[in-house]
Amino acid sequence: MTAGAEVTQSEREAMRAALRDFVAAEVMPSAASRDATGEFPAAAVRRLGELDAMGIHVPVEFGGLGLDTASLLAAVEEVAYGDASLASIYTAHYLGLEPILVAGTEEQKAKYLAPLAQGDLLGAFALTEPDAGSDIASMTTTATPDGEGWRLSGSKTYISNAAEAGVTVVFAKSDRAAGFRGISAFVLPAGLPGVTFSSPQDKSGIRSAPTYTVFFDDVSLPADALLGEAGTGGKLAMHVLNAARIDVAAMANGVARRALHLAVEHATDRVQFSQPLRDFQAIQLLLGEMDAAVEVSRQTALWAGGVRDTGADLRRAGSIAKYVATENCFSVVDKAVQIHGGMGFMRESEIERLFRDCRILRIYEGTSQIQLLTLAGTLTARFDRDGTAS
Ligand SMILES: Cc1cc2nc3c(=O)[nH]c(=O)nc-3n(C[C@H](O)[C@H](O)[C@H](O)COP(=O)(O)OP(=O)(O)OC[C@H]3O[C@@H](n4cnc5c(N)ncnc54)[C@H](O)[C@@H]3O)c2cc1C
């Protein structure tokens, strides 16, 4: 899909270093106050565009860097290390961009993909509805043919970046009787009459990454708003989610790496019974488990990213990467809280924010249970086809 194979290790590491510097200087110092106020990090999002980080795997002809998935994962991990909220905005941007990259016409790519990849527009992806979460086929937002175009009615909820986005990919039923095969995808520029937003939803974590309920009141869409063929939107959504789950894995890995750093730092500084915590074997066992979990998760994401670059089916690799990284992240952050003792429960400590931020990772873009169901499905299909589970 991209020119990824030509990416050198040094190019990727140079990009990682640039983002690491940016995050340390311009993101981390204000992350706690944005968590408290819920302020959208507009300046940081703009800077990601200036740093050429908004279209890392998008081909150069469409304004991206044309790098491989490992480069994208490195970028997401660095951003998440400094601020999970910014990383959530960042991965939601890529989730909005991906359907256009995969299914857009040349005209749609020129119109939307290029400004997204250059950071001039922010992306969003609107699939979930109040009564259709894991079960997307039960969505009721409807796109009705109207002359040459369509009329869109219904609502979506928990949509990241919705009010800030310049482009949102919206999934709707163009054939209500057809279930999953009745879903179509549409690309919507900002500012269409009939599109309105709730206030930002009040969340436990990633508090400066806003989500909204979005209402579509008989919105008129031109014919060229349709992404791909009518009825292929469900398949497109699943294809894109399988890829994007690896980005969520990278986000989890960035958060887990930060938690590990904070745990070692605290275990070094905090003295009890006349010695630093890190000299107690019980603490060392926790640190060892955390280090192993972080490394396994990072290697798993890189493996899945390699599968993504081959263009192969990503159901299994995407689910494994997300499941392993997000469950490990939660466990690592929880252990880091434990190592902090009472301080880990205090709003003034960074690890307390990470504990709230990381919880969403096991829920969005397919819950952990949905990842396991996907894995069981691919496993039994393999068994039925090849007579083997390996
Ligand atoms: C902060 C945040 C940001 C989000 N951003 C976006 C976004 O940008 N775009 C978007 O479209 N959506 C977004 N979402 C929605 C998110 O993807 C969904 O919340 C998620 O997919 C789960 O759907 P649900 O909340 O309806 O839970 P449900 O589907 O109601 O699931 C509830 C529980 O039941 C379990 N469950 C469901 N079905 C099964 C089953 N068949 N077998 C076993 N267990 C099952 C689930 O694992 C879960 O534990 C966001 C959500 C949040 C909270």
Ligand 1 centroid from CA 275, angstroms = 45
For range 336-344, the mean pLDDT: 98
Q: Average pLDDT of 129-145?
A: 97
Of ligand 1's listed atoms, the one at least distance from the Cα of 203 is: 1
DSSP run (H or E) holding 189: strand 183-189
Whole-angstrom Cα distance, residue 296 to residue 301? 9
Q: Grade residue 71 by pLDDT with cuts at 50, 70 and 90.
A: very high
3-state secondary structure of 271: strand
- 156: alpha, beta or left? (left if phi > 0; alpha if psi -120 to 50): beta
Secondary structure, 3-state, 113-145: HHHHHCCCCCEEEECCECCECCCHHHCCCEEEE
Cα diameter, the chain: 79
Sequential DSSP letters for 313-378: --HHHHHHHHHHHHHHHHHHHHHHHHHHGGGGGSTTSHHHHHHHHHGGGGTTTS-HHHHHHHHHHH
Residue 272: pLDDT band by 50, 70, 90 thresholds? very high
For 75, the token pair is 């970028």
- Protein residues whose CB sits closer than 6 Å to any atom of ligand 1: 92, 125-128, 133-134, 158-160, 203, 211, 360, 363-367, 369-370, 373
- Once rounded to an integer, what is the mean pLDDT over residues 261-267? 98
- Segment 324-351 mean pLDDT: 98
How far is ligand 1, taken at its centre, from the CA of residue 3, in Å? 34
pLDDT at 4 over 70: no
**Please, what is the angle between helix 233-269 and helix 315-340, to 10°?**
30
Residue 215 identity (one-letter amino acid): F
Task: Using pLDDT thresholds of 50, 70 and 90, give the confidence band for residue 2.
Answer: very low
55, with CB counted inside 10 A (0-12, 13-18, 19+), is buried
Angle between helices 84-103 and 69-82 (to 10 degrees): 150
Cα separation, 116 vs 246, in Å, equals 20
Question: For 207-255, how does the pLDDT look when each residue is reduced to its tens digit (9 = 90+)?
Answer: 999 999 999 999 999 999 999 999 999 999 999 999 999 999 999 999 9
Cα distance between residue 134 and residue 224, in whole Å: 28
The atom number, within ligand 1, closest to the CA of 88 reads: 3
**Does the active-site annotation cover 365?**
yes
pLDDT at 219 (0 to 100): 98
Ligand 1 centre distance from Cα of residue 24 (Å): 32
Distance from the CA of 363 to the center of ligand 1, in angstroms? 6
Question: Which residues are within 8 A (CB) of 371 and not within 5 positions of it... i.e. 6 or more apart?
Answer: 245, 319, 320, 322, 323
Q: How far apart are CA 246 and CA 318, in angstroms?
A: 6
The residue whose CA is least distant from atom 50 of ligand 1 is 158
Closest residue to atom 35 of ligand 1, CA basis: 369
Please report which confidence band the pLDDT of residue 6 belongs to, taking 50, 70 and 90 as the band edges.
Answer: low
**What's the gap in Å between 74 CA and the centre of ligand 1?**
26
What SS3 string covers 39-56?
A: CCCHHHHHHHHHCCCCCC
Report which ligand 1 atom has the smallest distance to the Cα of 369: 47
Q: What is the pLDDT of residues 156-197, one digit of tens each?
A: 999 999 999 999 999 999 999 999 999 999 999 999 999 999
pLDDT at 89 over 90: yes
How far is CA 309 from its chain centroid?
Answer: 18
**By three-state DSSP, how is residue 232 classified?**
coil
- Record the pTM: 0.97
* Contact present, 177 and 199 (Cβ < 8 Å): no
For residue 260, give the 3-state DSSP assignment.
helix
Find the catalytic residue in 78, 98, 164, 365.
365
Indicate if the alpha-carbon torsion angle 25, 26, 30, 32 is positive or negative.
negative
Ligand 1 atom closest to 134 (CA)? 29
For residue 11, name the pLDDT band (cuts at 50, 70, 90).
confident
Please tell me the distance from the alpha carbon of residue 247 to that of residue 239, in angstroms, as a whole number.
14
Residue nearest (by alpha carbon) to ligand 1 atom 20: 364
- Looking at residue 1, its pLDDT comes to 38
Residue nearest to atom 23 of ligand 1 (CA): 133
- CA of residue 100 to ligand 1 center, whole Å: 23
Q: Are 92 and 163 in contact (CB under 8 A)?
A: no
Task: Give the type of residue at 33.
Answer: S
> Given the CA of residue 156, which atom of ligand 1 is nearest to it?
11
Tokens standing for residue 218: 């008989």
Residue 377: both structure tokens together:
């499905």
pLDDT above 50 (res 3): no
Pairwise CA distance, residues 153 & 211, whole Å: 20
Nearest CA to ligand 1 atom 6: 159
